[in-house]
Amino acid sequence: MGDYVVKVEEGRSASDGKPSAGPVYRCIYAKDGLLDIPTELDSPWNFFSESVKKNPNNQMLGRRQFKDGKGDKCGIYGANCPEWIIAMEACIGQSITYVPLYDTLGANAVEFIINHAEVSIAFVQESKLLSGDLDAKGLTESCSGCFTSIANVFPMMGTVGVPMTTIEARLESVPEMGYDALSSVPRGEICLRGSTLFSGYHKRPDLTAEVVVDGWFHTGDVGEWQPNGAMKIIDRKKNIFKLSQGEYVAVESIESVYSRCPLITSIWVYGNSFESFLVAVVVPEKKALEEWAANNQEKGDFQSLCSNTKARKYILDELNSTAKTHNLRGFEMLRGVHLEPVPFGIDRDLVTPTFKLKRPQLLKYFKVKSRFLLLSCFLPLHEYLSGHYLSWLTLYIVNTLMLQHIQDCIDHLYSEAKGTKA
């Protein structure tokens, strides 16, 4: 597979309750065996510790305690505190050059990265034309890098590159999410093996046993092998995703809170890294919705009530009230909901036999609705537009346009709606 990795073990089929796993790959530069980190090299830690010994009274070296015992303080330069030294030592150990972000990308880019937002491929590509930047992936458990791209190999943009020379990698199927490590486009949970991985969580053998199985560390990231041997991260097995402003959302935890609202029977919360808010598809509790309709002089059967603008607003308000009661944060509140009259069911392949949500299938099934919910939340007249002027055919057309033109189309529809109202 590709010019940059070699296969060292074949994949295996599912058996004994274990999911199938794809072949094991190494970097081409480690085809004859994984490489060790040279022990004779000096690291920044050596220079730091020697400097402290030679200059014991220099308070700008590292972290020191006040003489009166009032607390800790750190040197002005981040490189002089132990935490940063350890990070740089890890980079040195993996032959990764560290440089000041401010000097290379500028203040705006530094703020962008510090906020943990995703850097778009277009931004990275523009920067790479002028420099030799590399994309990489690392975890605390992998003791720094585990994947890195190869300089000036442009097809690797948008990926984390190939395995480092100190680890082996494979994908493990995640059948409940529809990812098959043995398919023609291998997708599954990224698993790592090698001498540079951690030995386990401190005094937590239970957590260690959850992530290290048969010598393989399970990262929780879902990846896809590219034809050139690079790895592309496409999902999280633990259903954690990032919003556009950098907030991480543990969606299952949020759904469990919203499920406490007595007005609903099922909920699927959706968000992505292009937007800063969440939306949801909700199956209302039929009796509760019909009682609300009777008390508010709203007519229609259950299906028509699910399309009622006032009903949507009522349930959205009640859901967010439940969220506030249980101390959800602002970005975890819902901006919009779609009321679905038909329960999520096995017959539509939206849940597992144990009634766990199948998120890829839900996204595919409700694609138009979920995308429109995200788009419509930008509009001041969201309920007016969605209730009176945008047919599902229009929504389908909007949904199929290229992403960069969607907002222009919505603005045009918004202008038309204002003109019609006038």
Rounded to whole angstroms, the Cα distance separating 368 from 26 reads 40
Q: Which residues pair with 190 in a beta bridge?
A: 171
User: Does one domain contain both 248 and 160?
Assistant: no
User: Does one domain contain both 189 and 317?
Assistant: no
Q: List, in order, residues 6 or more apart from 411 with CB less than 8 Å away.
A: none
Residue 302 has pLDDT above 50, yes or no: yes
User: Does one domain contain both 351 and 270?
Assistant: yes
| Contact present, 401 and 308 (Cβ < 8 Å) | no
pLDDT value for 215? 95
Higher pLDDT, 210 or 399: 210
User: Does one domain contain both 224 and 348?
Assistant: no
User: Does one domain contain both 256 and 357?
Assistant: yes
User: Does one domain contain both 341 and 394?
Assistant: no
The radius of gyration computed from the CA coordinates of the chain, to the nearest angstrom, equals 26
Residue 388 has pLDDT above 50, yes or no: no
Structure tokens given for 343:
């329960």
Q: Report the interhelical angle of 82-93 vs 44-54 (nearest 10°).
A: 140
Where is the domain boundary, 211, 238, 265?
Answer: 238
Kindly report, residue by residue over 251-284, the tens digit of the pLDDT.
888 998 999 999 999 999 988 877 888 989 999 9
Structural domain boundaries enclosing 89? 38-93
Please report, for residues 387, 388, 408, the alpha-carbon distance to residue 391 in angstroms, rounded to integers and kept in the order given.
9, 8, 18
pLDDT value for 96? 53
User: Does one domain contain both 345 and 268?
Assistant: yes
pLDDT value for 266? 93
CATH number at residue 182: 3.40.50.12780
Amino acid at 190: I
**Sequence-ordered strand ranges (E) for 209-258:** 212-213, 216-225, 231-236, 240-242, 248-250
pLDDT value for 363? 84
pLDDT value for 68? 59
Kindly report, residue by residue over 204-255, the tens digit of the pLDDT.
788 788 889 999 999 988 999 999 999 998 877 767 777 878 787 878 889 9
What's the rounded mean pLDDT across residues 185-211?
88
pLDDT value for 89? 60
Query: Is the residue at 186 inside a domain?
Result: yes
Highest mean pLDDT among 130-134, 146-150, 282-286, 383-387: 282-286
What's the rounded mean pLDDT across residues 349-372?
76
User: Does one domain contain both 308 and 164?
Assistant: no
Q: Return the minimum-mean-pLDDT range out of 12-26, 36-50, 317-331.
A: 36-50
Residue 87 has pLDDT above 50, yes or no: yes
User: Does one domain contain both 74 and 88?
Assistant: yes
Q: Return the minimum-mean-pLDDT range out of 164-173, 310-319, 320-329, 409-418.
A: 409-418
Residue 11 has pLDDT above 60, yes or no: yes
User: Does one domain contain both 201 and 68?
Assistant: no
Residue in 193, 77, 95, 76 with CA at minimum distance from that of residue 136: 95
User: Does one domain contain both 269 and 283?
Assistant: yes
